[in-house]
Amino acid sequence: MSEQDKITVWLSSPIGNDPERLYSLLMSNIPARVWIKDAVGRYVFVNPRLSSELGIEAEKWIGARDEELFPGVGHVYWRKDRQVLTSGFPLISTDQIERGKSLFVVRFPLAIDGNDHVAAVGVETTEQMSALIGFFHLRDELFRNERLRAIGEMASGLAHDLRNILNAGALRLSILRSKAGNDLINDVDALARSVNAAAERVRGLQEFVNERPQENLEASDISILIGEAIEMVDYLIEKTPTIRGGAIKLLRNIPSSLPKVWAFPNQVKHVFANLLMNGREAMPDGGNLSIEAKPVAASIEVAVSDEGTGIPADILPKMFDPFFTTKDLGTGLGLSMARDVMTRLDGAIRAENRSPQGAAIILNFPIAE
């Protein structure tokens, strides 16, 4: 059927012959809030969804201003409307509305009978914003944990070297004291006390770094940990388009009867969540992202696999190094933190390319006997 034929069929349909009915259906069923204000900020139209969701009868909207309906915050909305009226260009914003909700709003100029108006369409994005904020918090926590770990390792190594140098200095001073005359012994003793005090401070720093607080190792149900990790990021993975507009489908193959494994529960959940987000970012055009678990020898093997372009051969050996990243805005700490967690629970982690395409991060958790 040609485009002209389609238009003819539509015009001959009951709705095509009744524009008012079509308009009424659209305004009643569109999953968005729609409103129009005149040039001085008075409402001239609101759709039923806006009226019902805010609990304000339709007749109370018409002729009212934001300052009257929303004391204290109405001026913020009017400021955005006035920007559209003044510039003549659309404005896209995220508005914080009642009870912590978020609204994605498109405002645009509209001429009615030769008079300037501003129209707006608002779609609630509270769930999306909450998911995005949760993801940012997850990334911040991963960055904080890994940065502290990396700093701790560097501090521990530095303290070890300084302690050896100070101990050697103290030994030299002891030899020097045996050879010094009575006029120098007091000075040598004073210098030795200073060196010993410095060595003691370095020892204290080394002990503090090595005794970092961490979760207790627990016998954990890996299927529960994976499920809770997925809950942290599933909205961003499956319900949010990729940067090229693609869709991600999350596939799970997690048997419910797996034996328990040794894990740091909270840290392992963050590891899974970060690996899932990495897999999503590896597929800008969309695809299948899978996570599966199975027994392998004396461990449970968990694989997070994507259908992206794979990992270049020169990148594979460096993937788990601290601060190494191929992302423009990456920190290079996610995979390093994952390796640290798996090492501390006597597990293992590795990366490999999959055939015909894609890559996988594979983790082995020791079974808790």
Tens of pLDDT along 293-304? 999 988 999 999
Contact 94, 84 (CB under 8 A): no
Order of strands across the sheet with 299-305? 248-253, 287-296, 299-305, 359-366, 348-353
Is the pLDDT assigned to residue 179 strictly greater than 70?
yes
Tokens coding 348:
């293992």
> Which is higher by pLDDT, 305 or 247?
305
Cα dist from 334 to 33, 161, 319, whole Å: 40, 28, 10
Confidence class for position 220, pLDDT limits 50, 70, 90 = very high
pLDDT digits (tens, 9 = 90+) for 116-153: 999 999 888 766 666 666 666 666 666 666 666 666 66
**Most confident option among 27-41, 124-138, 157-171, 196-210:** 27-41
* pLDDT for 329: 46
Q: How far apart are CA 37 and CA 270, in angstroms?
A: 47
Least confident of 17-26, 62-71, 280-289, 356-365: 17-26
Asked whether the predicted pLDDT for residue 5 surpasses 60, the reply is no
Hey, what are 104's tokens? 């994605």
Least confident piece of the model among 119-123, 158-162, 190-194: 158-162
In whole angstroms, what is the distance from residue 221 CA to residue 367 CA?
Answer: 10
DSSP assignments along 108-153, one per residue = EEEEETTEEEEEEEEEE-HHHHHHHHHHHHHHHHHHHHHHHHHHHH
Rounded to an integer, the average pLDDT of 44-50 is 88
Q: How many residues in the chain?
A: 369
Using CA atoms, how far apart are residues 236 and 273, in angstroms rounded to an integer? 11
Residues 347 and 157 sit within 8 Å (Cβ to Cβ): no
For residue 92, pLDDT beyond 60 = yes
356 preceded by a cis bond (ω within 30 of 0): yes
Measured CA distances, 79 to 39, 74, 204 (Å)? 12, 9, 58
Q: Is 303 within 8 Å of 247 (Cβ atoms)?
A: no
What percent of the chain is modeled with pLDDT above 70? 75
Sort strands 248-253 and 287-296 into parallel, antiparallel or unpaired: parallel
Banded model confidence at residue 260, pLDDT cuts 50, 70, 90: very high
Residues 340-362 have a mean pLDDT of 89
Q: Rg of the Cα trace of the chain? A: 32
Residue 14 reports pLDDT greater than 60: no
pLDDT recorded at residue 8: 54
More confident residue, 153 or 87: 87
Instruction: State residue 186's pLDDT score.
Output: 83
pTM metric for this prediction: 0.53
pLDDT for 165 equals: 80
Please say if the pLDDT value at position 226 is more than 90: yes
How large a percentage of the chain has pLDDT more than 90? 24
Mean pLDDT of all residues belonging to the chain: 80
Exposure letters 85-106 (e unless 16+ CB within 10 A, then b): beeeeebeeebebeeeebbbbe
Residue 34 has pLDDT above 70, yes or no: yes
Strand, helix or coil at 285?
Answer: coil
